[in-house]
Amino acid sequence: MPLTAYDLTGRTAFVTGAASGIGRACAVLLARAGAGVHCADRDDRGLHETAALIEDEGGTARVHRLDVTDRTGLRKAVDSCERLDVMAAVAGIMHSSPVLETREEDLDRVWSVNFKGVLYACQEAARHMIARQVRGSIVTMASGAVDTGGPGLLCYGVAKAAVVQLTRTLATEIGPHGIRVNAVAPGWVRTPMTDRHGAAQAHTEAFMARMSPLGRVGEPEDVAHAVLHLASDASPFTTGQILRPNGGVAMPW
């Protein structure tokens, strides 16, 4: 496979959750590969910071301040793309609570963002690509939590498991249009979102680093490279798959 397989020059990518963390890393890396990038997030300041990073390196970025649970807003943003080649549905939130303490509002919020937000992004991207006969790539964001149970992971794990099923199902349905659909399921990654958990985060990070044969936790760029691989021509015969950049950790609770 020639190195030019990773060249996205002339293509357009749309990244949700682009204001920070994995989403920002994906937006920046896709731009470095040559794509014009549409960055979407609720965080207006973070969005403009991501766009500035891209533009400072000579790339092209456009920002869309939106909530992925707002299907109408998401549709308008996707429709603003003259042509869409790559959708990276990264936006998500973290939540942890024991099963016996999980409230309905917790489940509803996590499900709304982590599953429905991904579903809407996939639907709008697929609709756009099919209408324009674009043989594109859709990449969803799952999690290592889909492979095993863990304390406090009910809401988060269920939503991410649903993303895996969405990915596999959609791949079978729109594959005949030449559109590939794959998921990335990262292990523990150091991001602003995980950093907000303070001492609990530090304990978990140390534990996960010890469990990895590589002796460290992930960085957003580690996941972004997996997304670029699936988004590019380097994976032309890959669809319905789950790529796991997790440092070799099998999540042994």
Active site residues: 156
- The C-alpha atoms of residue 5 and residue 143 are separated, in whole angstroms, by 26
- The C-alpha atoms of residue 33 and residue 198 are separated, in whole angstroms, by 34
Of 62, 47, 72, whose CA–CA distance to 14 is shortest?
Answer: 62
Residue with tokens 């015969």, as numbered in its chain: 237
Distance of CA 122 to the CA centre of its chain: 11
> For residues 122 and 171, is the Cβ–Cβ distance under 8 A?
no
User: What 3-state class would DSSP assign to 184?
Assistant: strand
User: What 3-state class would DSSP assign to 67?
Assistant: coil
Residue 183's beta-bridge partner residues?
140, 242
